[in-house]
């Protein structure tokens, strides 16, 4: 929903920019043709050199604006879009980095828990407690205790 007003504003800005460019082209052509016609003497009221001399700076300003400012505006728009694109790329890279960091921390926690499980002799004692009566169950042999620890560590790593 938030993107729609931004797209509408960008579209209206693009239309305004194109309209402005076309107006500048038309004005430049009109003043250039009037200037050429006055120099050639096709327009009788403007045949006076004094009138043509007054029009000359106006025409040069319009042409200068057209050939100077409009390309600069297009260059500015291109640079702004490039900055926006680079900002989006940086944000995406930062987000990916944060996700990788979270995954790394989760894996480190799993490895730490698996190491604790493998290093602790609590597996045999836990089985005795679950039996309810410690006399009924004999202590498991070391191989069985090790197998239980490894299974618990695998379960931790698989979770």
Treating both helix axes as pointing N-terminal to C-terminal, what angle do 142-158 and 122-131 enclose, rounded to 10 degrees? 100
**Token pair for residue 74?**
């297009």
pLDDT for res 116:
84
Instruction: Identify which has the larger pLDDT, 124 or 77.
Output: 77
Residue 137 gets which letter from DSSP? S
Question: What is the band of 20 on the pLDDT scale with cuts at 50, 70, 90?
Answer: confident
Tokens 């931004």 — which residue?
Answer: 6
Q: For 98-148, what is each residue's pLDDT tens digit?
A: 999 999 999 899 888 888 887 777 544 544 444 455 455 555 567 787 788
Q: Which pTM does this prediction carry?
A: 0.47
Please list, in sequence order, all residues whose beta carbon lies within 8 angstroms of the beta carbon of residue 157, skipping any fewer than 6 positions away: 110, 111, 114
């Amino acid at each position: 929903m938030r993107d729609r007003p931004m797209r509408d504003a960008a579209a209206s800005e693009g239309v305004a920019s194109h309209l402005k460019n076309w107006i500048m082209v038309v004005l430049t052509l009109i003043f250039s043709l009037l200037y050429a016609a006055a120099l050639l003497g096709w327009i009788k009221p403007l045949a006076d050199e004094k009138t043509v001399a007054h029009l000359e700076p106006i025409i040069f300003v319009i042409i200068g604006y057209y050939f100077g400012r409009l390309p600069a505006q297009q260059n500015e728009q291109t640079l702004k879009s490039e900055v926006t694109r680079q900002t989006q790329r940086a944000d995406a890279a930062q987000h990916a980095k944060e996700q990788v960091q979270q995954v790394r921390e989760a894996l480190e926690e799993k490895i730490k828990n698996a190491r604790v499980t493998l290093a602790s002799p609590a597996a045999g004692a836990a089985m005795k407690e679950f039996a309810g009566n410690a006399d009924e169950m004999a202590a498991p042999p070391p191989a069985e205790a090790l197998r239980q620890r490894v299974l618990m560590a695998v379960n931790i790593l698989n979770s």
